[in-house]
Amino acid sequence: MEVDTTLRWSRDVQKDRLRYAGRVDYFVTPAEPAQRRYEALRSYFVDGASAAEVGSRFGYSPATVHQLAAELRAGRTQFFVSSKPGPRGPRKSGRIRDQVLALRAEDRSVTDIAERVSMDGTPVSAQSVWAILHSEGIERLGRAHVGPSPRLDPVRAAPIGDWPAGAVYDCDHAGLYVLLPALAELGIDKLIGAARYPGTKVLSPFHSLTSLLLVKASRTGRAANAFPLGADPGLGLAVGLSAVPKGTHLTSYSYRVKRSSNVALLEGLARQAREIGLYSGEAGFNLDFHTIRHHGDEVPLEEHYVASRSQRTRSVLTFFAQDHASTEMVYANADVTKADQASEVIAFADYWARVAGSDPGLLVFDSKVTTYKTLDELAARGITFLTLRQRGAKVLEALAALPPSAWTTHNLKRAGRYRHPQIHEEIIHLKGIDLALRQIAVRNIGHEHPTLLITNDLATAAKDLFGRYAERMIIENELDADISGFHLNALASGLPLNVDLDTTLTVLAGNAYRLLARKLPRYEQATPDRLWRHFLDNTGKVVVADDHVRVDLALRTYTPVLIDAGYPELDLPVPWWGGRTLRFGFPPR
């Protein structure tokens, strides 16, 4: 019985194969996009065919096959679901679709494909091309990719003697020219010249430092990754070079920089920033340490607590000071050791006294920044401070024993929870500090135990001091912005000297970005990351004339903001261009 059933089933299968022999193409040459992807990936993973073989059989480029395989491994691929239809009308025809896929197999962008298909007599938009590609499960190319990528070779960096009048450069990083007005306003050439940085036989200190600054402003994580900038000759003109130096020079140069040069640069920067109104320091400063973890082995670094890892590990301890009113970073030091970290507050006070001619006003910082000995020195100098006090058992017992009448409820005008803190204040004497201090205990703010603030400010209202300390957190927000905008945590070397230059450049780049933001409507408080994405991450052409350089930026969504800010009318003398001016060109709106 079982044999008869098996034979009958076999005969039925053979009949079906003969009856539907014409449907074999349904599996061999699938037409539905999802099925094409399925059969292509099945051939690639199950049959072991190469990407080139799979691409040739199913109409994909090898790169697209690898991309489809990566999407499948990442779990972002769905089969047996009807794909979205392509564009309607004649653009949906098989001829247009085949043209689009053939051109995409050559790694061409949607814009290039649309132009080429339209030249054949059938107008098609870039959006329609993208709809066809999307329905086939093919992802976008990078914005700057416009065709088969030629092999890029770095151009030798050298100072420009005779400017090539009439030359035109395709510049992949033309958007960085938008920062030049801010750098000119800061007087970057004078700042570097006065800081006595070292030079080389070929490149001056200005050339090396501004090249490193371009790498920082371009959000390149490490100097060693500066190759795309060095292969873009149109960008080197921004700093008076034939090209941006290679990463080997930028990295090795940073090892020759002394801390004294970085401090001199920061002092000159702060004086110029005060003069142009970028910040003044009148509202005080927020101070904080930040650890930059090192990922190598056998480096001469101490272990510090890294909050992001919740552990102590070899890292570089950096110190930052932020102007409270403008939220701009004004000082950085990455040459800090455990032995001298407690005195870094005094080092900053001395720094600001040299900049402004007087000691800083209110300094706000966490209790771990310094010691009672340093607080005593600050108080003796008449420098006002506001910090936390560690909650000892005896102090907490004394606060718990206070009657309810000893606590005053305050209403804070701010959003969110805990707008009604209860405050108790008293004058105390701490061991190691000669002058009396004011202790402000705050409860009903979501903590199990009261928060203790100590200060030598005996006049300001307690609730205002509590609110001011809560605002200290903006320095951490700014550090986060520097990490995402300038790759502050991308440690290029285990040597503190190198990292110290990197943090100095972070402060300089942040100030330049802020000057740019102040000139752009509705972008005054934008983060570096947002400014980069909207305005600086752009391509264009650099056109050299006898008396000026014109940068023609590609049209992007946010280009009208630059136009409204007056960039088309700009004719800015660039001090390091030998009398030439900077102009911008924009496509018509």
Each residue's pLDDT tens digit, 538-585: 999 999 999 999 999 998 889 999 999 999 999 999 999 999 999 999
Which structure tokens are listed for 36? 């094409």
Distances 285 to 239, 343, 344, 352, 463 between C-alpha atoms, Å: 33, 16, 14, 10, 19
Residue 92 has pLDDT above 50, yes or no: no
Q: 493 lies in a domain? A: no
Identify the burial level of 272 via C-beta atoms within 10 angstroms of its C-beta, where 0-12 means exposed, 13-18 middle and 19 or more buried: middle
Residues in the chain: 589
Q: 438 lies in a domain? A: yes
pLDDT at 350: 96
Closest to 457 (Cα-Cα) out of 364, 587, 553: 364
Q: 403 lies in a domain? A: yes
Q: Looking at the DSSP assignment, which residues form a beta bridge with residue 408? A: 423
pTM (2 d.p.) = 0.71
Closest to 65 (Cα-Cα) out of 147, 143, 149, 139: 139
Which structure tokens are listed for 32? 């539905």
Count up the domains in the chain and report the number: 1
- Interval 167-199: pLDDT, tens: 999 998 999 999 999 999 999 999 999 999 999
Per DSSP, 455 falls in state: E
Q: 169 lies in a domain? A: no
State the DSSP string of 15-30.
HHHHHTGGGTHHHHS-
Q: Which domain holds residue 417?
A: 389-456
Q: 70 lies in a domain? A: no
Which structure tokens are listed for 218? 């371009």
Average pLDDT over residues 158-170: 88
The amino acid present at 326, given as its one-letter code, is S
Q: 452 lies in a domain? A: yes
Residue 305 has pLDDT above 60, yes or no: no
Q: 575 lies in a domain? A: no
Is residue 26 within 8 A of residue 39, CB to CB? The reply is no
Q: 428 lies in a domain? A: yes
Q: What angle do CA 532, 233, 146 make, to 5 degrees?
A: 65
Assign 3-class secondary structure to 146-197: CCCCCCCCCCCCCECCCCCCCCEEEECCHHHHHHHHHHHHHCHHHHHHHCCC
